[in-house]
Structures are given as structure tokens and as C-alpha cells.
Amino acid sequence: GAVVSQHPSRVICKSGTSVKIECRSLDFQATTMFWYRQFPKQSLMLMATSNEGSKATYEQGVEKDKFLINHASLTLSTLTVTSAHPEDSSFYICSASTGGTLAYNEQFFGPGTRLTVL
């Protein structure tokens, strides 16, 4: 159980176009989903936290108009990179948690999406 999928796994796009990445929890309902970005040889940096039915909370320095996050259902969150530029090329990973009243609920990670902007 607790499987999270991402689609696509790899995407190459032209500069100026928009790209949508999907994150799905396959066998559980995810009240909270997280989006991370990872540069080569670096750790994961949290971009934003999204809760089903509400606006995403972005980390400092992350442009919310550039990285549009939609968490429309308990099993799907999408990240849209708008007007992509080469500097947006990166590895994007999502995670999902069940939320709840505990201080922390385990996050289950997707396999990641590698975005290359030409």
C-alpha cells in the first residue's frame, strides 16, 4: 500500500511553454501533498504544501504564479510550470500524506519527474 505515482516521468519542452506534472495517491486518500525540487547533486527543497480543496502554501522564494499547484481531489495534485525556462529544468518529486491529528504523518514519495527545458 501507500503508492504514489507521478506522470510524466520525463518531459522535454521548449522555452516559453507550460508543463503539467501529475501526482496521484493510488491506494489512499491524501489530504496533504507536497512538491519538492531537486537540483543535480543536491538535496530536496520543499516548494509548496497543498491541501485538498484549498490554496497551496508556497515556501519563501517560490513563485506561486510560475508554479501553479492544484489539489482538486484527495488523490490528485498537479504542478504546472508556466512559461518554462531552462533554469526551471530540474527533478520534481511529490509526496502525499494522510494528514490527521498526529504531530506528523508519514509522507509517501512519488518516483519523480525530470523536466528539461530547451
Partner 1 sequence: SQELEQSPQSLIVQEGKNLTINCTSSKTLYGLYWYKQKYGEGLIFLMMLQKGGEEKSHEKITAKLDEKKQQSSLHITASQPSHAGIYLCGAVDFGNEKLTFGTGTRLTIIP
| Chain residues in the site for partner 1 (CB under 8 A) | 4, 6, 32, 34, 41-46, 49, 91, 93, 95, 97, 99, 103-112, 114
Least distance (Å) between residue 16 CB and partner 1: 25
Q: Which is nearer to partner 1, 84 or 110 (CB)?
A: 110
Question: Would you say 9 or 83 has its CB closer to partner 1?
Answer: 9
Shortest distance (Å) from residue 43 CB to partner 1: 5
Assess contact for 94 and 6: CB atoms under 8 A: yes
Shortest Å distance, C-beta 110 to partner 1: 6
E strand spans, the chain: 4-7, 10-13, 19-25, 32-38, 44-51, 57-58, 67-73, 76-81, 90-97, 108-109, 113-117
Kindly calculate the radius of gyration of the chain based on its CA atoms and give it in whole angstroms.
14
Residue whose CB is less far from partner 1, 65 or 104:
104
Least spacing, CB of residue 85 vs partner 1, in Å: 21
Question: Which of residues 28 and 109 has its CB atom nearest to partner 1 in the complex?
Answer: 109
Give ∠ CA 63-68-74 in degrees, rounded to 5: 130
Provide the grid cell at 13: 519542452
